[in-house]
Structure 1
Amino acid sequence: MTTNQTFAITFLARTDRKEKEICSIYARINVNGKRSEFSVVRSIPLEAWNPTKERIDSKYKDFRKSNAYIEQVRAKITNIHRELVLKEESISAIIIKNIFFGRSDNGKTLIELFEYHNISQVNVLSPGTLKNYYTTHKYISKYLREIKKIDDIILAKINYQFITGFESYLRNYVPSDHHRPLSNNGVMKHLERLRKVTTMAIKLEWLEKDPFERFKFSFNKVDRGYLTDKELNTIKTKSFNIPRLQFVKDLFIFSCYTGLSYIDVINLTNENIIMGIDGEYWIQTIRQKTEMVVNIPLLPVALNILNNYKDHPKSIHGDQLFPSLSNQKLNSYLKEVGDICGIQKSLTFHMARHTFATTVTLSNGVPIETVSKVLGHSNLSTTMIYARVLKTKISEDMHKLKDKLNNQKDKINRCS
């Protein structure tokens, strides 16, 4: 248990939406900046509440009884916190609230579950993946407050109706900032994360029944963006006078010829370059996302880019093959690269991985099993997403077939 926790109890008024002169008094528990609230006294005149003293004055007929109850609540919450400290047990605003209302461990809540998941998985999930769970947690909290009109909900009450209600909320959610509304697949991703969290609750014996048992996920098939051979060559042969754009272009092309994701490229060090069984240089690394070992023969284009950066001061200082650059800035600069090169598609760094799978390897006859190994996929079905049959490849294969049939015809004619 952390000994330097912050803990506070405050009482505040919340006005009625219809009658602004009427309010209810809420107890707010705050532990380490995270809070939980519940109502203590309902429907009193707003003018009767003294926010400085956190008491009700004589303008309310039952002020003595209500003030006594407020102090009893304060004392009980304080005692609960003191007991948890002495027992060196986990402390949070949600836990204190649960104990206040007499909930046992079987009465754990959804927000408490999310907090437990996010803390316990810090060293298990990648920062990017964990960030997605924080976002789902945020949407759950919004849904509870805006639709359910509550701060939290007991896990036992999470059922099919709750899930479909949350799905409907996500589909109709209108962001107040510059972000776009959620797509169908975005909604499904949030529901997938909710399911993983509730599955953890079942394993922890906090939840008895799977609330997703009757729910059917429905993802839309998405054609992953990639560069054609012509588009790839346009970027590859373009030189930039601006160093940051030249670097971003080189990093992008390197990924197009290795299939590595952004984080795996940035994490490359000299130790990842080995001599392969063929006497050529290979990349040997572990994919951060899947922890799969990948072995990638270095194609000439990728090897030339590596050689260009081997003496870069930032690379030498950090023992990395490439200078570090955030994914956000990288993708922002890629948009400039795409505009200058006249590429109509919206360039992202992940498009390089798709380009490697489609244009560089599969379109040139590399077996899908080999591509799967190089990409570091745990199963072949994942690689099948990239197995597009391009029109140019169809044309090329059919021309080969025509030539083969014509040769067979000529051979038959000579024999006859």
Structure 2
Amino acid sequence: MNQVNVKVSFYLKKSEADADGMCPVMARLNVGKYSEAAFSAKLRVPQSMWHSGRASGKSVKAKEINNRLDEIRAMALGVYAELSAVRDGVTAGDVKSLLLGMAGEQATLLGYFRTFIENFAKRVGVNRTEGSLRSYRNAYNHVERFLLEKYNLSDIPFSALNRSFIDDYDLHLRTDCHLAPGTIINLTVQLKIIVGEAIADGIITVYPFAGYEPVRPKQKKRYLTSEELQRIMTTPLHKPKLYLIRDMFLFSCYTGIPYGDMRLLSKEHLSLADDGTWWIRSSRKKTGIEFEIPLLDLPLCIIEKYRDTAPDGRLFPMYSNSVMNYNLKHIARLCQIDCPLVFHAGRHTYATEITLGHGVPLETVSKMLGHSQIETTQIYAKVTDDKINADTRILDERIAERFSVVI
């Protein structure tokens, strides 16, 4: 690659001098012989102080002006280096656009992100939740802060996104923000979604996340075994509050219904089928997707136990999620369960131990959990070693019945 001469110089725009002789300072960026762009340095300098593209003199004011000019020059050269490292033909206009956080007619990352959030907000209460909206706003704030701290920019064009940008963002989240690996995964996934939307809209064609793999936290067991469930059901707790929280958690374990949907259940969501089976039919608060679950004996007993104890026709009198999780950890200690128990573990337990572990097909589990994609169910439905061993034994017996080997 031929070495391209890049030069940043400064001059006064004397035609816009004010009554005190203060003139705007302009920057002129030259890339090679034929590419040039000018932009405001956002400074005003007395014409009498200006000499050969710098503020003259040794005053504090002159030093401040020259320091700022040096910063602008360094940023411009740095932006050119970033862009030219990943593509050829970088122009002065490209550098100017990235440096100023503008992109002319190009779509910008944060501008597009804001539009995405505005459209997302319109769907809250329809098929999106307020919590998801807050999550995207938090992701936006992290990207905005990164651009300001790393590049001193308010925005960048989508064309400037590359793998180097993604790696730097990941490093920023880990070292500057000191975030946990799971949080970093969430934030980068949300940025991936924005980038994916931009690709779908034809704004960019190159996927900047190609080859990127975030550091993943060590996978923790997020479901209870049948033996642990038995301990929760039989261990004395001595406090009515703990018994209530235990019962609510067990209901989730045997139905897969998460906290946000469970607290909204009412008598209207119960229905009796012709064969005498009771069902819960509702829709996910998070996505609006309908789900229907046949009730086993234990959840039916819990419903009966708390009948008419909750206001407004609700099925259960429930504490806040934070109170539930705090007390579940206490229950786990009493039951000698060695994991940081939270309410959402009930949903994982239903998918893994109650349904999949007893031979319910993954497609059926996905329908009962209210998932739109079976890939989502696979995250919950961790196949236990016992299930693998049992399936292997059944397969071995079937093969032995059909085939014989003459030795």
If the length of structure 1 is used for normalisation, what is the TM-score?
Answer: 0.64
Tell me how far 1:303 sits from its aligned partner: 0.9
Whether contact under 8 Å (2:259, 2:344) holds in the other structure is yes
Q: How does 1:7-406 map to 2 (within 5 A)?
A: 40-41=42-43, 106-107=105-106, 109-124=108-123, 125-175=128-178, 181-183=179-181, 185-201=182-198, 207-212=203-208, 214-217=210-213, 220=216, 222=219, 224-312=221-309, 315-316=310-311, 318-393=312-387
> Would the alpha carbon gap of residues 227 and 157 (structure 1) be closer, same or farther in structure 2, given more than 3 Å must change?
same
> Would the alpha carbon gap of residues 385 and 224 (structure 1) be closer, same or farther in structure 2, given more than 3 Å must change?
farther
Write the deviation string for residues 227-278 of structure 1: whole angstroms up to 9, x where unpaired: 1111111112235343332222111100000011111111211111111242
Aligned residue number for residue 79 of structure 2 = none
**SS at the partner of 1:122?**
helix
Which residue type is aligned with residue 140 of structure 2? H
Whether contact under 8 Å (2:101, 2:154) holds in the other structure is no
- How many pairs are equivalent? 311
Whether contact under 8 Å (2:166, 2:209) holds in the other structure is no
Give the RMSD, CA atoms, in angstroms.
3.7
Give ranges in structure 2 of 5+ residues lacking alignment.
1-39, 47-58, 63-96
Tell me how far 1:210 sits from its aligned partner: 4.4
Aligned residue number for residue 77 of structure 1 = none
Please say which of residues 219-228 and 109-118 is displaced more in the overlay.
219-228
Which residue type is aligned with residue 365 of structure 2? V
Write the deviation string for residues 188-239 of structure 1: whole angstroms up to 9, x where unpaired: 332221122234445667x444453645446758465111111111112235
**SS at the partner of 2:116?**
helix
Which residue type is aligned with residue 212 of structure 1? P
Alpha-carbon distance in structure 2 between the residues aligned to 1:200 and 1:319 = 41
Please say which of residues 278-287 and 101-110 is displaced more in the overlay.
101-110
Tell me how far 1:345 sits from its aligned partner: 0.9
Write the deviation string for residues 362-391 of structure 1: whole angstroms up to 9, x where unpaired: 222323332222122223343334554434
> Would the alpha carbon gap of residues 136 and 43 (structure 1) be closer, same or farther in structure 2, given more than 3 Å must change?
farther
Tell me how far 1:170 sits from its aligned partner: 2.0
Which residue type is aligned with residue 137 of structure 1? Y
Alpha-carbon distance in structure 2 between the residues aligned to 1:164 and 1:305 = 50
Whether contact under 8 Å (1:110, 1:153) holds in the other structure is yes
> Would the alpha carbon gap of residues 147 and 281 (structure 1) be closer, same or farther in structure 2, given more than 3 Å must change?
same
> Would the alpha carbon gap of residues 208 and 396 (structure 1) be closer, same or farther in structure 2, given more than 3 Å must change?
closer
Aligned residue number for residue 69 of structure 1 = none
**SS at the partner of 2:105?**
helix
Aligned residue number for residue 8 of structure 2 = none
Alpha-carbon distance in structure 2 between the residues aligned to 1:219 and 1:277 = 51
> Would the alpha carbon gap of residues 211 and 387 (structure 1) be closer, same or farther in structure 2, given more than 3 Å must change?
closer
Which residue type is aligned with residue 156 of structure 2? I
Alpha-carbon distance in structure 2 between the residues aligned to 1:231 and 1:147 = 48
**SS at the partner of 1:153?**
coil
Whether contact under 8 Å (1:276, 1:297) holds in the other structure is no
> Would the alpha carbon gap of residues 123 and 298 (structure 1) be closer, same or farther in structure 2, given more than 3 Å must change?
farther
Alpha-carbon distance in structure 2 between the residues aligned to 1:261 and 1:162 = 37
Alpha-carbon distance in structure 1 between the residues aligned to 2:166 and 2:209 = 11
> Would the alpha carbon gap of residues 108 and 279 (structure 1) be closer, same or farther in structure 2, given more than 3 Å must change?
same
Alpha-carbon distance in structure 1 between the residues aligned to 2:164 and 2:44 = 29
Whether contact under 8 Å (2:237, 2:334) holds in the other structure is no
Whether contact under 8 Å (2:283, 2:291) holds in the other structure is yes
> Would the alpha carbon gap of residues 386 and 116 (structure 1) be closer, same or farther in structure 2, given more than 3 Å must change?
closer
Alpha-carbon distance in structure 2 between the residues aligned to 1:291 and 1:352 = 20
Please say which of residues 346-355 and 166-175 is displaced more in the overlay.
166-175
Give ranges in structure 1 of 5+ residues lacking alignment.
1-37, 45-58, 63-97, 176-180
Whether contact under 8 Å (1:109, 1:152) holds in the other structure is yes
Write the deviation string for residues 389-415 of structure 1: whole angstroms up to 9, x where unpaired: 434445656777899999x8xxx9xxx
Alpha-carbon distance in structure 2 between the residues aligned to 1:405 and 1:156 = 58
> Would the alpha carbon gap of residues 114 and 369 (structure 1) be closer, same or farther in structure 2, given more than 3 Å must change?
closer
Alpha-carbon distance in structure 2 between the residues aligned to 1:233 and 1:302 = 15
**SS at the partner of 1:311?**
coil
If the length of structure 2 is used for normalisation, what is the TM-score?
Answer: 0.65
